Amino acid sequence: MLKKIIIIFTILLALLLTYLYFQQESDYVDESVETEKTKEKEEEVKEEILKFEENPAYNQAQYFEGVVNIDEQPMYYAYPLEIVKDNPPKLIVYSHGQLQRIVEDLENEYMIKMRNYGEFFASKGYAFSASNQHDDNWGQRESLNDIAKSIRWFEENEYPVLEKKHMVGFSMGGRTAINYAVENPNEIGKVALLAPTPRAELTESDVEQIRDISIRIWHGTGDVNIPFSTTQQYVQRFENYNKEIDVVAIESAGHFDIETTLMEDILEFFER
């Protein structure tokens, strides 16, 4: 009789232990599922999407655009219709050449070029701006002030952008881009220069200011407006102070041949 009781007790104990084991496993699975759900909810909170009510640039466009006057200087802008609240777009600031103008008429021949830039970069998740920069835009104080005002405009109008901006400078606008970077190095991530006019003076102190800023120059070897040799000499001035500049020679290309044809290359440079 005692033997039977012991056998029954042993079986019952085994069943109890088995039940407790699987109950513990079930609780662990439920806890894991809840943990995953919590993480997913946290990710959703982290990636809160901001949607803007502005009209798209065209039907099915993923960005909006426009021209505003900032202290009597027109500025073209393009901005994504949707952004991640905690990860706003990086702003690309474009500086135009000497004889070019930013105007309010979006169908203007030059403005179509700016709109092509705006569409390309805004569709990739960037913000884009191009200020008139006091017409001739040779890197003077007024031009630099215009850039600063155009950057502030985004924040003032609740279109957030990241602290670090990239710059693109074409022709004389290349001088303006470098001048701005020298004075505001903490704001600038990278600078792309297209057949640039060199900075008038380039001191060791200037180079030290932009030492950590990546700069790349694209220049056509067939350029008669600003010869390719100008860029070679410009780069040597940087190298005299141990600052390397990437140079991409575009075989036989003229001055205006590269004005709007290198967006993919510029994007690759900015994102690498």
User: Mean pLDDT over all residues of the chain?
Assistant: 89
Supply the pTM of this predicted model: 0.83
**pLDDT for the residue numbered 29:** 45
Task: Provide mean pLDDT across the span 155-176.
Answer: 97
Beta strands of the chain (E only): which ranges?
49-51, 63-70, 73-80, 82-84, 91-95, 127-131, 165-170, 188-194, 214-220, 246-250
Torsion of CA 129, 134, 138, 139, to 10 degrees: -60
Q: Which of 7-16, 37-46, 240-249 has the highest mean predicted lDDT (pLDDT)?
A: 240-249
Can you give the length of the chain in residues?
272
Report which of residues 48 and 36 the model is more confident about: 48
**pLDDT for the residue numbered 99:** 87
Q: How confident is the model at residue 222 (pLDDT cuts 50, 70, 90)?
A: very high
Name residue, tokens 């290349």.
174
Question: Where do the domains of the chain lie?
Answer: 1-46, 49-271
Q: Which residues contact 149 (CB under 8 A, 6 or more apart)?
A: 70, 71, 73, 131
Q: Which residues pair with 216 in a beta bridge?
A: 192, 246
pLDDT at 176 over 50: yes
Handedness of CA 135, 139, 142, 144 (dihedral sign): positive
Task: Provide mean pLDDT across the span 208-231.
Answer: 98
pLDDT at 39 over 80: no
Q: How confident is the model at residue 28 (pLDDT cuts 50, 70, 90)?
A: very low
φ/ψ (deg, to 5) at 134: 55, 50
- Could you tell me which CATH number the domain at 49-271 has? 3.40.50.1820
